[in-house]
Structure 1
Amino acid sequence: MKANFTLDLFSKFGFGSKPQRFSKPLRFLITTLTLFTLLPNQLLAQLQKTEPPFWYSNMKNPELQVMFYGKDISKYTVSVSDNVPITGVTKTENPNYLFVTIDTKNIPATQLTFTFSEKSKTKFTHKYELKQRRKDSALRQGFDSSDLVYLIMPDRFANGNPSNDNTSNTKEKSDRNNDHGRHGGDIDGIIDNLDYLKSLGATAVWSTPLCEDNDARGSYHGYAQSDVYKIDARYGTNDDYLKLSSELHKRDMKLILDYVTNHWGAEHWMIKDLPTYDWVHQFPGYAQSNYRMTTQFDPNKSEIDKKYCVDGWFVKSMPDLNQANPLVLKYLTQNAIWWIEYADLDGFRVDTYSYCDKEGISKWTKAITDEYPHFNIVGEVWMHDQAQMAYWQKDSKIGAIQNYNSYLPSVMDFTLHDAFGNVFNENEPNWDRGIIKVYENFTNDFLYPNINSILVFAENHDTQRFNQIYKNLDSYKMAMTLIATVRGIPQIYYGSEIGMQGDKGKGDGDIRRDFPGGWNSDPHNAFTSSGRNETEKAYFDFSSKLFNWRKSKSVIHNGKTLQFLPENNVYVYFRYNEKESVMVVINNSDKAQTFKTARFAEGLKDFTTGTDVVSGKSVDLEQDVTIEPKSAYILELK
């Protein structure tokens, strides 16, 4: 073995494959020097990962927990340069992990050195950088009710760089013929079409997760992440993501990262070598969630039912993270803050928020919003009761009954979404059918502590496509009129603005179709005015006019609401402030309807005319008003 080792060394460093041609003393010298050359590399190879890979100085919370990973790394004693205090060292049952906590208070941007020793002898060192933060980073403004959020499934949006469709270090390969496979969309494709989004009126982009998801199949959705510090190579690089952020900000647009606190993918490198047995929930092994989120607050619940909701895995390929484990919680918190700082983010959308350990996710959310007081986080709380959804918003009086505060600034208005699913097909109203469903949704607004921070939407990447349900422009116009003018933060789903359809009954892949024109081989390009067909043009032109009008309307962004009970399936409400008033009329009937305006005197006050923002039509409000079937007015009052 010694001879083979010597032979390998001589070959590796260019001395040929016949060491015997050198004298014995010279062979000894070459071997010794070579060993000294290799030794640091062999020791450094023992440190395989350091996370976070770097950090920032002058953070509000100066405590930093650095995770070191490598074979038997916990046997070493760790010190750090520049008199930086080590406040804690945590070793787990897995000797391949070492968690070192340091206090960075008053430490300027610098390069630290971690020293790993054994029996008082230095074995190796590791450089670790504290970077300078951006100016006023902590005061960044998150997305809010002045924005229009555009939701993108990046794999299906646009392929700006075909050369990264397949990469050597990712398993699933591109196949556009497979509805449930990778199609090749990427970050470059989003960047290429930012001007399209701006022309539509979008001001914020929410992309489904872009971090590496190395599942062998179905990896395109990104929710089974395998490395949460690394952009998936099929989307691009971390630098590409930074470019996306920069290009958005140049256009006065915002970037929202889809963060997953509840689970990782089974291919995550840490799942394959768990730091602790309870890093994920074990039963032992796998048990699926019962999805009954009501067990989080039901005073009559059984503990076993709550356990299977919170601890059960969302699906078998997504191990459920244990946010009650302090090491897990710290890891997730620091990863989230790292992305905000690194990529200059404007917000998070948090997947499956209400499936997490509720005390743990509350601490996670508070830590982020303490660091960034104006940063917005919207949580996916997919429930069908306003009181149950309001429970999860920051400072909820409902949550306070149980002494609970999630600190979550925003939740999603799923009850309004529920109404959108059938209301525009209900032409004949009765007590609980027709447009009354929309009216009733807003009667419960008092339950929410911050009603202007509710995300309102007709669809998203997990629901049936709106245009598949209705398949007509009139219904789309009524829905978008509502989305654009009611309280809250409007969100639209990519492609709906050109009439894209997709049937969830055929699987999620069908509601995530490719945007036409996103691939060079596409027969037409709906990203351009000249490339849109007649139907796409009609949808887009309406959407663009509506959402661009909304951009500057503070009366819509944060005005008050006055609504009137629908009559004959006609719904009227006002958005108003001290300076402006907008009257919205939606006729959900399949017949033209005429109504007397005297009933709305409370909202009309001294206004006598209104101009429809889409058509430009002037409406005399001192006379009876007739509105065409399945149509809407947005009247700026004068």
Structure 2
Amino acid sequence: MKKSIIALILIPLLFLTVLPASGTAAKEERIWQDESIYYLLIDRYSNRDNSNDYDVDVRNPERFHGGDFKGIIDRLDHIEDLGFTTIALSPVFANGKDGYHGYWVEDFYETEEQFGSIDEFKKLVKEAHDRDIKVMIDFPINHVGTSHPWVNDPDKAEWFIDKEPIETEDNMNKDWLNGLPALNQDHPEVKEYLIDAANWWIDETNIDGYRIEGVQLASQNFVTEFVSAVKATKKDFYVLGDVWSNDPNEIAQFESTGIDSFADYPSVAAMRDSFKEPDVAMTETLADLETNLDTYENPYMMARFLDNQDMVRFTRDMIELNQHPGPRWRNALTYLFTVPGIPIVYYASEIAVDGGETPDNRKQMDFRTDKELIEYLGQLSSVREQLPSLTRGTIEVLHEEDGFTVFKREYEEETSVVVINNTSGTKDIILTADQLEANKELRGLLAGDLVKSNPDEEYHIVLDREEAEIYVLTDKAGFNLTYGITLLAVLFAFFLFLFLAKRRGMRNNKD
């Protein structure tokens, strides 16, 4: 019993005696480039209220499956454990038959009844905010559903325009939007209606952002006015633009609209190719990163992702090559979370769900699954939140060879080093004093690795195959004199107490 008590006292004190001076920057107020976003389709996430399952057929991938606001509320613990700071939702508005994805809007002022009431949506936003998680939603500005009351109203004929069929790049599928009535956003009443509705949702529910699908389809004058209006309604309101292009210069043309950030479609293909199997050079992926830094006004606000609701799932790439998804996803996510940009993860990626073309890429979330990747993603999110250098710092590639990649991020007094060994063998590298400040140590925050500067002022890093580590550069740990004296004083007092207690016990026995 006494030994147990002594151990309980000693363990925390021993940690204090070797506590190093921190090499991390001071914690600052969170800004949007610090966020990480979890994007989910409401209907496919979690069904926790069967009373609103009015037209559900889970066997049909093109019908409602029953996901609702209550389901998301009940799964906030899961999202919080993953470490995401923002939830992005598919459109919440009332939709036409089989509009499970939310883009066949019938009423911009009503929630889809199969998702739940507006009061339940408000509860979702509040409970997310209570956990310091922001909420944003898709706001369709280009189309309405074919069953919208405006479509058959002769007084609103001028509210619509004829548009050519939607054309996208090879890695995107937007066919489910073709044939929808296209809104004339330059019509004064249409413009006023959409802006008023967008501001109403902000005022009514306190959401934090909008995602706009198909920015290139819209009137650019309207987009500029829309963005200006919603930003005037709520401080720090965020607008993410989806421009369906693999050309960075084409996307950059829309920066003048005031949109905060854009979906980084041009980087997706190279990232997927780099991580879907081992021993693949990162040359093109790193070149895309350099292009972003050179092209966009604020490349740190680009929204980076590996797949979304309009792409074949990233897991499918691995399966087609007979690769195990776990290591592939871990390394890809490590890269996604440590380079400049806002990471967006599509729901069910944390369980490496498989899926082909739309709608097969929109399967129901399964919460009864292996937790290994879930835990890794949570750990990765935590490290990203701890280190401002990973969201705000400069980036310098120190090494790249056939999937073994090392880069450095620096912000104020903080330096982090990211090492990704996406190869089939153990790799090592020596970083010199020209690359990293000498006489310090690299502390691994994912696997706990520790690398100290040697007498030659070098850091020798060794990493197993298909593993990654994020290091922070800190002062070398040593014995802390103040805590050492405190420890000795506590131990002396403790043993004095035992000695006096024992003497008292002996006296009592004699009496």
* Structure-1 separation of matches of 2:154 and 2:340: 45
Is 1:575 matched with 2:428?
no
Which residue matches 1:617? 449
Listed one character per residue, the Cα deviations across residues 596-617 of structure 1 (whole Å, up to 9, x for unaligned) are 312xx45412364212211112
Q: Which residue of 177, 187, 208 maps to 2:69?
A: 187
Which residue matches 1:447? 295
Q: Which residue of 281, 285, 290 maps to 1:438?
A: 285
Which residue matches 1:58? none
Instruction: Determine helix, strand or coil for the equivalent of 1:388.
Output: helix
Is 1:381 matched with 2:232?
no
Cα deviation for residue 317 of structure 1 reads 4.0
Cα deviation for residue 545 of structure 1 reads 1.1
Which residue matches 1:606? 438
Cα deviation for residue 559 of structure 1 reads 1.9
> What amino acid is aligned across from residue 359 of structure 2 in structure 1?
G
Which residue matches 1:79? none
Is 1:160 matched with 2:48?
yes
Q: How does 1:534-545 map to 2 (within 5 A)?
A: 536-545=370-379
Q: How does 1:454-603 map to 2 (within 5 A)?
A: 454-470=302-318, 471-504=324-357, 508-517=358-367, 526=368, 532=369, 536-564=370-398, 566-598=400-432, 601-603=433-435
* Structure-2 separation of matches of 1:142 and 1:608: 29
> 5+ residue gaps in structure 1?
1-140, 167-172, 293-311, 394-404, 518-525, 527-531
Instruction: Determine helix, strand or coil for the equivalent of 1:443.
Output: helix
Preserved contact between residue 142 and residue 374 of structure 1 (Cα < 8 Å)? no
Q: Which residue of 337, 360, 370 maps to 2:222?
A: 360
Cα deviation for residue 623 of structure 1 reads 4.4
Cα deviation for residue 590 of structure 1 reads 2.5
> What amino acid is aligned across from residue 597 of structure 1 in structure 2?
L
In structure 2, relative to structure 1, the CA distance for the partners of 1:143 and 1:212 (3 Å cut) is: farther
Listed one character per residue, the Cα deviations across residues 553-591 of structure 1 (whole Å, up to 9, x for unaligned) are 222222222224523432221111122111011223333
* Structure-2 separation of matches of 1:275 and 1:559: 54
Cα deviation for residue 254 of structure 1 reads 0.7
* Structure-2 separation of matches of 1:371 and 1:603: 46
Q: CA RMSD in A?
A: 2.3
In structure 2, relative to structure 1, the CA distance for the partners of 1:594 and 1:319 (3 Å cut) is: same
In structure 2, relative to structure 1, the CA distance for the partners of 1:274 and 1:237 (3 Å cut) is: farther
In structure 2, relative to structure 1, the CA distance for the partners of 1:497 and 1:274 (3 Å cut) is: farther
Instruction: Determine helix, strand or coil for the equivalent of 2:65.
Output: coil
Is 1:174 matched with 2:56?
yes
* Structure-2 separation of matches of 1:148 and 1:425: 22
In structure 2, relative to structure 1, the CA distance for the partners of 1:350 and 1:612 (3 Å cut) is: same
Q: Which residue of 258, 274, 281 maps to 1:407?
A: 258
Which residue matches 2:144? 264
* Structure-2 separation of matches of 1:334 and 1:602: 56
Preserved contact between residue 442 and residue 471 of structure 2 (Cα < 8 Å)? yes
Instruction: Determine helix, strand or coil for the equivalent of 2:360.
Output: helix
Is the helix fraction higher in 1 or 2?
2
Cα deviation for residue 248 of structure 1 reads 0.8
Q: Which residue of 267, 278, 289 maps to 1:416?
A: 267
Which residue matches 1:289? 166
Which residue matches 2:471? 635
Instruction: Determine helix, strand or coil for the equivalent of 2:312.
Output: coil
How high is the TM-score relative to the length of structure 2?
0.80
Preserved contact between residue 282 and residue 401 of structure 2 (Cα < 8 Å)? no
Preserved contact between residue 288 and residue 314 of structure 1 (Cα < 8 Å)? no
* Structure-1 separation of matches of 2:30 and 2:414: 25
> What amino acid is aligned across from residue 362 of structure 2 in structure 1?
R
Higher relative contact order (CA closer than 8 Å, sequence separation 6+): 2
* Structure-1 separation of matches of 2:50 and 2:423: 48
* Structure-2 separation of matches of 1:425 and 1:196: 26
> Across the two proteins, how many residue pairs are aligned to each other?
433
Following TM superposition, the consecutive aligned residue runs of length 4 or more in structure 1 with deviations greater than 6 angstroms are none
Q: Which residue of 151, 156, 163 maps to 1:276?
A: 156
Which residue matches 1:225? 105
* Structure-2 separation of matches of 1:315 and 1:509: 13
Instruction: Determine helix, strand or coil for the equivalent of 1:368.
Output: helix
Instruction: Determine helix, strand or coil for the equivalent of 2:395.
Output: strand
* Structure-2 separation of matches of 1:596 and 1:152: 42
Q: How does 1:121-136 map to 2 (within 5 A)?
A: none
Q: Which structure has the larger Rg over C-alpha atoms? A: 1
